[in-house]
Amino acid sequence: MISLTGKSLPRKINKEGFTFIELMLVAVIIGIIIGLSTPLFRTTFNTLQLESLSSNLAKFIRYSQERAIVERLRYRLVFNDSLHKYWLEVEKDPLNGSGEFQRLRSRWGKVHSVPEGISLETGEKKIYFYPDGKTSKNTIYLSNKQGITYTLIMGGTLGRVQVFNYRKEE
C-alpha cells in the first residue's frame, strides 16, 4: 500500500493460522498413529469377543440348569456338528419317557452363533441338565486366533459350571 506521501507502508503479515504444509504434517502423523493402533484394536476386540462368549455361555448353562430344576424337566444344550451354533431344548413328554426333545419356543430356544474367529471344542455335542440339579460332565474350550483359550467345565453332583481363562485339561 502507498501512503499519500508516496512512501510504501510496511505490510502486516498475519502470522495467525497454519500453513498447508503444517496441516499436512499433522494429518500424516495422525494417519501413522491410526495405522499402528488398528492391529492392536483388532486383537483387543477378538479377545473381548472371546471373554463375552465364555461369560454368556456360562450364564446360558446356569440358566438351563435352573430351568430344569424349577420346571422338573430335562433340558439339554445342543451344539451343531460344525460347533458354530448352539441352542436349548426341553424334553417333549417326560411322562412317556421317550427321550425326545424339542427346541424351546422362547428367546432361549433361538439358535446362538459362535463369532467368526473363535473356535469351540467340546467332548459331547449334547449337555444334559436334570431336575435334581445334576448336569452331564463336559468340558468346553473356546479359543481365538491369538491363542487365548477359555475353559468351561461342568458336571458332577453339584452341576456347577466353572470358567477358567486358560486351557485346563482334566
DSSP line for 97-130: T---EEE-SSGGGSPEEPPTTEEEEES-SEEEE-
Task: pLDDT band for 8, please (50, 70, 90 cuts).
Answer: low
Q: Rounded to the nearest 10 degrees, how much is the dihedral formed by the CA atoms of 78, 124, 127, 125?
A: 0
pTM of the model: 0.72
pLDDT in tens, 64-106: 999 999 999 999 999 998 889 999 999 987 777 677 898 888 8
Task: pLDDT band for 47, please (50, 70, 90 cuts).
Answer: confident
Structural domains of the chain in order of their starting residue, each with its CATH number: 20-164 (3.55.40.10)
